[in-house]
Amino acid sequence: MLVQPESQKTYTLDEYRALEETAEFRSEYDDGEILPMSGGTIEHNNIIINIIVMLKIALRGANYHIQSSDLRLWIPQYRKGTYPDVMVIAGDPVFNENRTDEILNPCLIVEVLSKSTEGYDRGDKFLYYRSIPEFREYLLVSQSEYFIEHYRKTGEGQWLLQEYRGNEREIALESVGVSLVVNDLYEGVNFE
């Protein structure tokens, strides 16, 4: 989740990276602006953990790397550094400028929606992500109800949307060759 920046000072990418290496809290980078991120809810965190565990088990032994929001995604075309909730990389990770803290090549990105970020996650952020050549699938997961939006890139470069409502549905993730049961994604989540 993003919060409004306190100042309009612009930073070089190197200045941002130096600040991020010692910061207590993460911030996203937007072409010179540093955007502090706020914390999430327990439901948000439970969903992320569930997804990571399910993917880790399903992809065991396969050449995929599952990453949490601790690894920054660099989007060169837009000069943006973001922290997706979950990323999956097919094959070897490609690092920006040989840095081990900035990845360039996820094939699958998952964002757990919150009221403060869902418009950004569906709109501009999705636009930025689509500039990544390896990016094939995008899951937007509600934390307040059984609802998932699944975007999949076709061979012709079109993005198709499939919505999942209810907890008994299964999501086929073509980019990684596994299916996830919606109910399992929401295990331990309280919709109050």
Query: Could you tell me the domains of the chain?
Result: 40-71+82-185 (3.90.1570.10)
> What per-residue confidence (pLDDT) applies to 127?
97
Residue 151 near residue 138 (C-beta atoms within 8 A)? yes
pLDDT, position 105: 98
Question: What value does the mean pLDDT take over residues 68-92?
Answer: 96
pLDDT of residue 7: 52
pTM: 0.90
Nearest to 68 by CA among 82, 87, 53, 55: 87
pLDDT of the residue at 95: 96
- The percent of residues above 70 in pLDDT, for the chain, comes to 95
Specify the residue for token string 């997804």: 51
**pLDDT category of residue 9 using cuts at 50, 70 and 90:** confident
pLDDT of residue 129 exceeding 50, the answer is yes
| Alpha-carbon distances of 76 from 4, 59, 80, 128, 132, rounded to whole Å | 23, 28, 7, 9, 9
Query: Which helix or strand (DSSP H or E) is residue 141 part of?
Result: strand 137-141
The whole-number pLDDT of residue 5 equals: 47
Would you say the C-alpha torsion 17, 19, 22, 23 has a positive or negative sign?
negative
- Mean predicted lDDT score pLDDT of the chain: 92
Rg (CA), the chain: 16
pLDDT band at 18 (very low <50, low <70, confident <90, very high): confident
The model's confidence at residue 71, banded by pLDDT at 50, 70 and 90, is: very high
**Are residues 159 and 153 in contact, defined by beta-carbon separation less than 8 angstroms?**
yes
Q: Is the pLDDT of residue 4 over 60?
A: no
Question: Would you say 109 and 155 are in contact if contact means Cβ atoms under 8 Å apart?
Answer: no
Q: Is the pLDDT of residue 6 over 60?
A: no
Both tokens assigned to 166: 């209810």
